[in-house]
Amino acid sequence: MAKESVDSLYQKAQHAVAQGDNGTARGLYMQALGLKSDAPEVHYGMATVCFLLNDLPSAAYHFKEVTRLDPHRAGAHINLGAIYNRMDMLDEAIPVLRRGIQLDHNRAEGFYNLGIVYRRKGQIDMAIQAYREAVRINPRMFDAHYNIANLYFEKQQYSLALAHYKQALAARPTWDKAKQGLEQCEAALHGAAAQPAGPSAGTPQGNGHAKDAEDIHLDPHHTVDPGTHGLLLSSLHKATIESDTMSRSLLSVMETEVEPAIKDLSSCLMLPGSTAQDVEQCLQKFESAIVKLRTAQKELGASLHQVQKMGDKLVRS
């Protein structure tokens, strides 16, 4: 009976978060923990809400509880490290971030937050290495590209800095800080001193170089609400089915068109007695099969691109 009550409170809290009502969600999570204090999912939800409410000590406490109750949960370690980072507890952040990465080496947000720690501790090369791992895993992590670019700029490695400013802007074209960094880098690369336009939110006084992006990256804990995302989920499901159909069509073209055409052409070229007309017919069959293959590839690519777009929209919603 108590477990059902905990589940009900947990579901209501998730719904409140989806509606942006974090205060109500916190109260519901608190009630759930009163009934079951050792529920890692409830602590995880509570920690996330506390972070959204800027109550960092409470967020750290609840993420730490998750690591105690579920010690192999990589995201909880990474989130705890990110919160310690925000609280300027850098020495505490490093081991928990490393533990999260050890549990799951494909967590871009883990390497990103580790990069922030090393950057703030003045360990520039280690920060670059961490950020580079983050963008290797997630090439569109624009703030990691931006921070790498800033570090290369400081090391006067302007060509490398320029490449990462451009990648940051490719992922976020309207980002003014990245545009400013790119302009300063281009000026430095051409031997001209970049002149600061004046103090701004992203540019410290007395330094024309833009400040690093230091927003922490929490491990994704996204709640999909069918009531809110129903239409998008339906469209995404439809596009996924279409992509599956097109991938099967591509496979069919390869098996029934391309492979036989290759075999016929090979036999025609290898067997004695084949006439020029025979070779021409085989070549025409092969070219026709290749046209069909390219068409199927193009259709599948367009469909997969649509799935990616809708998936990104769902994640951002």
10-residue stretch averages of pLDDT, the chain, 317 residues long: 72 90 92 92 94 93 95 94 94 95 93 95 94 94 95 93 95 92 90 45 40 70 47 64 77 85 80 78 87 86 78 57
Instruction: DSSP for 35-76, please give it.
Output: H-TT-HHHHHHHHHHHHHTT-HHHHHHHHHHHHHHSTT-HHH
Is the pTM above the cut of 0.85? no
Backbone angles phi, psi at 172, to 5 degrees: -140, 80
Give the pLDDT confidence score for residue 210 in this predicted structure. Answer: 61
Give the pLDDT confidence score for residue 305 in this predicted structure. Answer: 78
3-state secondary structure 178-233: HHHHHHHHHHHHCCCCCCCCCCECCECCCCCCCCCCCCCCCCCCCCCCHHHHHHHH
Give the pLDDT confidence score for residue 196 in this predicted structure. Answer: 46
Rounded distance, CA 15 to CA 11, Å? Answer: 6
Backbone angles phi, psi at 200, to 5 degrees: -145, 175
User: Three-state DSSP class for 20?
Assistant: coil
Give the pLDDT confidence score for residue 286 in this predicted structure. Answer: 86
Intra-chain end-to-end CA distance of the chain, in Å: 34
* Spatial CA neighbour of 63 closest among 214, 215, 221, 225: 221
Tokens encoding 114:
């580790």
Tokens encoding 125:
């090369």
Rounded distance, CA 285 to CA 276, Å? Answer: 14
Which residue do the tokens 């596009």 mark? 239
Give the pLDDT confidence score for residue 235 in this predicted structure. Answer: 66
129 Cβ contact partners less than 8 Å away, ≥ 6 residues apart? none
